[in-house]
Structure 1
Amino acid sequence: MKEDKIKLFLVDDDALFLKSLEIEFLDHADFEIKTFSSGELCLTSINENPDVVILDYHLDGITKGAINGLETLDKIKEFNEEIPVIMLSSQDKIEVAVECMLHKATDYVVKSETAFFRLKQIITKVLHTQKIEKQLNWYIDRM
């Protein structure tokens, strides 16, 4: 049943990392995955309202002058503030993580051997929270 699948957008200009992330998610859960090599390409499909977006912080490796991850994050939040966006970066700097959170990222993950495990944990938590909120809203609407 396609409607039960979690719609996941993966955005990274590192083609190898993007493909490995896609394979990991397809192997471990029931996802409908769309991959994008730039923020601009992701934004052309954002009206599909993905359940979660995993977004690279830099995004400037392919096209010079391409919008970066923070600019993409801002545009996603302008479109729909409720879409959870998890930022991903090879930078292990607290300033970068804080900057992402100030731009309303849901979380920040450093690219490493444990990145997929962390992403899976965060997505599980985000989806669980969304489900509880929907149930709570349903209950409140019936009071």
Structure 2
Amino acid sequence: MARIAVVDDEESLRETLTYALEKEGHSVTSFEDGEKAWLAFKEEKPDLMILDIMMPRMDGLELCRKIRQEDEQIPLIFLSSRDEEFDRILGLEIGGDDYLCKPFSLRELCTRVKVLLRREQKGRQYFFSPTRPSSSQDRNQDQNLEICSSSYRAWWKGSVLPLSISEFRILKDLTEAPGTVRTRDQLILAAFPLDNYVSDRSIDSHIKRLRKKILQVDKEFDRIEAVYGLGYRYREGF
């Protein structure tokens, strides 16, 4: 059972999501605006949060920014309308792990919640472990990089990288074929396999965040290269 916070100003949607998630065995607390959710977050952190973008007092984007200043790991799912493409992209840029466009299937929401919680649960086991996993690691050609698909975790020169699920998928896709250019469309498919409404601009933002997180571990990291007009590649020559 996970503790989930649902933040949306639409009462009927809060009630529907609460019912569906509680039926899955989760404990759900709902909030009608971002300000109330933020105050509650400071008192006790949930295991996952579902945020509407457009809300009074404090919208979902501002709430996400505040949460990410306190916690890089908690999974965040945005809810948005299909005509709010800019907000969806911005939500991913500032730290959202996933988003769903309204109207959406409750079954799909529950599935995405389950995936994110499983990734986070396994990931935190390895994050706080003094040793890294060995049997479940993926093979790659860069000896500095270790990737574990079962936990959605990566290590650079022995230091864990606090990646979101989308960032992890992009890094894994790039490193599976070093030296090969991956187009933005290919990276979108790798990062968001269940979503057809992602702009290629969001990939640029994810690459920027991915580089930044690795640079925090190694200031000389320069493996991910932009290929003008095409996409990105993971540089060979290890």
TM over 0.5: yes
For residue 8 of structure 2, the aligned residue among 4, 12, 21 is 12
Identify if the C-alpha distance between structure 1 residues 118 and 101 changes in structure 2 by more than 3 Å, giving closer, same or farther: same
Unaligned runs of 5+ in 1: 61-65
- 1:44 match: 39
Instruction: Indicate yes or no: 2:118 matched with 1:128.
Output: yes
**Structure of higher RCO (CA pairs closer than 8 Å, 6+ residues apart):** 1
8 A Cα contact 2:4 2:29, kept in partner: yes
Cα distance in 1 for partners of 2:83, 2:109 equals 16
Indicate the SS of the match to 2:35: helix
Q: Which residue of 2 aligns with 1:63?
A: none
Cα deviation code 1:45-82 (max 9, x no counterpart): 1131111000000012xxxxx11110111111112121
Q: Secondary structure at the match of 1:98?
A: helix
Verify: 1:119 aligned to 2:103, yes or no.
no
Please report how far the alpha carbon of residue 21 of structure 1 lies from its aligned counterpart in structure 2 after TM superposition.
1.1
What SS is found at the alignment partner of 2:126? Answer: helix
Return the letter of the residue paired with 1:59: M
SS class of match (1:133): helix
Q: Contact 2:75–2:117 at 8 Å: present in 1 too? A: no
Percent of aligned positions that are identical:
24
Structure 1 partner of 2:53: 57
1:55/1:85 contact within 8 Å kept:
yes
Question: Per the alignment, in what secondary structure is the counterpart of residue 6 of structure 2?
Answer: strand
8 Å contact from structure 1 (residues 92, 110) kept in 2: no
Contact 2:35 2:58 in 1 (8 A): yes
What stretches of structure 2 of length at least 5 have no aligned partner?
135-238
Amino acid at match of 2:41: I
Which residue is equivalent to 2:67? 76
1:11, 1:44 → 2: CA distance?
12
User: Could you give the per-residue CA deviations for residues 108-141 of structure 1, whole angstroms, max 9, x where no partner exists?
Assistant: 1112141x22221211111221233234343717
**Counterpart of 2:17 in structure 1: which amino acid?**
L
Q: Secondary structure at the match of 1:140?
A: coil
SS at match of 1:58: coil
Other structure's SS at 1:72 match: helix
Secondary structure of the residue aligned to 2:131 is: helix
RMSD: 2.1
Residue aligning to 2:76: 85
Whether 1:30 aligns to 2:38 is no
After TM superposition, the runs of 4+ consecutive aligned structure 1 residues lying more than 4 A away are none
SS at match of 2:28: strand
TM-score scaled by structure 1?
A: 0.82
